[in-house]
Structure 1
């Protein structure tokens, strides 16, 4: 099974496309995870540049966060997922629904995503993320009863924050969720937040070890299932995800450096079969 590691565009949005793509390739990533412009010409400019650099693409959809009204959210989700699938990415990672929508409303959005995925032949996976339908284990589990094969992106840093723990007391929940994971956001969270200051620091070791154990289990499950690839995106984000000093707002660490260091850790830990 191939382990492929993607660079997050998040936090690098100020860079021109060619500068960011060169930076990604030089660091040794396999591809880029990003939200694509709705303008077809701009979308194709990005996808052409990425392909010419020998990189792969994971498309991301998160902009539905701006639509709290359900009808507007549903319309935006359809437009954004269609646009993402037109780029023919490896997969589409989506922030789906809201934690305050009814189960029927969120289920309608899950069904919509499944229909768009089938239409384009592109996998669409739903990210575990605060404020979405999957923002807490007890929010997600009813949907797993309804959709036992629901494809997920594991960003378990959000659940650490939401549950104020490293999920030590929820092995039964993880046993239901980890087999459904098709993509991982490799950020390390902790009981009081979604991102440690530096995952290499000794004080972050308990959190890092917990995340590595989850990722090990996911990789083992995908290998056992005969999957050809497993994808990871190191996703340490800019401020305010990166902690800052008071008054000066100076970041205490460099998110890009963290992501490259996580790339190197993943390469060492999960050699390709």
Structure 2
């Protein structure tokens, strides 16, 4: 039966009270698992952090997401080999960009697709600001040319980059749905028109409702095409400042770890409804 894996971003524990991911990562990872997460995610460029995460998760039969920034097929091939060797559940790729011409983007992704299809693990391309996928109309034209690109849907970037305000109109919902139909993994936080990471609930509840609705729809699309035994990952990715909102003294306005656990529970509830 298809399963949901809810992961916790290790970057999302940086500067988080009670955690020291720089000097005592194993304790942090144990706290993540004790809190009910199914694994974690880390960037391959942080070699020591990746080695600890891979060993910790692999020994326990748990999942971890490898993350990279790549700008060529050759670069992607090196990262894919490394992630497969280390036993990652999948490789999440932010593609360098943006580019000016869709034709150039298509050429770049065609080369990366050759690598992805031959890789020893699943490879997904993340939707993200300041990357190839930054501009949603541009990215949808890329999907017109290459409709089978497997994506990691990090939808907050389109909301804040486009300054989308509520209510979201039908055209924007339709555009997001095209991304969701290609989503093979998710990164999760709640954004607003002007904040990439907003506190959860309170006066931001309408934004939480928006993202929850999108995630639920993405789960529906994924389950419609999933085979028995497939796993979908959702990584809770509440980052440290400047992603997190702070007061005049630099203190975060919310308890980021508590919010991460709230998102985990919310996402699992959406999965049960899907």
Query: Which TM-score band applies after superposition, normalised by the shorter structure?
Result: 0.7 to 0.9
1:98 correspondence with 2:97: yes
CA distance in 2, matches of 1:102, 1:271: 41
- Counterpart contact for 2:12–2:237, Cα < 8 Å: no
Q: Give the aligned partner of residue 118 of structure 2.
A: 119
Deviation (angstroms), 1:118: 2.5
Residues 107 and 85 from structure 1, CA distance in 2 versus in 1: closer, same or farther, beyond 3 angstroms? Answer: farther
- Tell me the C-alpha RMSD between the 2 structures: 2.4
CA distance in 1, matches of 2:226, 2:117: 22
Q: Give the aligned partner of residue 52 of structure 1.
A: 59
- Counterpart contact for 1:21–1:53, Cα < 8 Å: no
Equivalent runs, 1:174-213 vs 2, <5 Å: 174-196=176-198, 198-201=199-202, 203-213=203-213
Q: Give the aligned partner of residue 235 of structure 2.
A: 233
- Counterpart contact for 1:86–1:120, Cα < 8 Å: no
Q: What runs of 5+ residues in structure 2 fail to find an aligned partner?
A: 14-20
Q: Give the aligned partner of residue 17 of structure 1.
A: 25
Deviation (angstroms), 1:101: 5.3
Q: Give the aligned partner of residue 252 of structure 1.
A: 253
**SS of residue paired to 1:270:** helix
Residues 191 and 139 from structure 1, CA distance in 2 versus in 1: closer, same or farther, beyond 3 angstroms? Answer: same
- Counterpart contact for 2:92–2:152, Cα < 8 Å: yes
- Counterpart contact for 1:38–1:83, Cα < 8 Å: no
CA distance in 2, matches of 1:264, 1:243: 22
Q: What runs of 5+ residues in structure 1 fail to find an aligned partner?
A: 65-69
Residues 110 and 256 from structure 1, CA distance in 2 versus in 1: closer, same or farther, beyond 3 angstroms? Answer: farther
Deviation (angstroms), 1:265: 1.4
What whole-Å deviation, never above 9, does each CA across 1:172-212 have from its counterpart, x for those lacking one?
Answer: 3123221101111111111112111x2122x1111111111
CA distance in 2, matches of 1:240, 1:43: 23
Deviation (angstroms), 1:105: 4.1
1:6 correspondence with 2:7: yes
Equivalent runs, 1:9-158 vs 2, <5 Å: 9-12=10-13, 13-37=21-45, 43-62=50-69, 64=70, 76-100=75-99, 102-158=101-157
CA distance in 1, matches of 2:206, 2:53: 39
CA distance in 1, matches of 2:86, 2:103: 30
Under a length normalisation based on structure 2, what TM-score does the superposition of the two structures give?
Answer: 0.85
Deviation (angstroms), 1:238: 0.6
CA distance in 1, matches of 2:103, 2:75: 18
Q: Give the aligned partner of residue 264 of structure 2.
A: 263
Q: Give the aligned partner of residue 158 of structure 2.
A: 159
What whole-Å deviation, never above 9, does each CA across 1:116-174 have from its counterpart, x for those lacking one?
Answer: 32233311111111111111211201210111111111111110001111543413312
- Counterpart contact for 2:73–2:112, Cα < 8 Å: no
Residues 272 and 89 from structure 1, CA distance in 2 versus in 1: closer, same or farther, beyond 3 angstroms? Answer: farther
For these two proteins, the number of residue pairs brought into alignment is 261
CA distance in 1, matches of 2:163, 2:175: 15
Residues 112 and 258 from structure 1, CA distance in 2 versus in 1: closer, same or farther, beyond 3 angstroms? Answer: farther
CA distance in 2, matches of 1:105, 1:17: 40
CA distance in 1, matches of 2:61, 2:90: 17
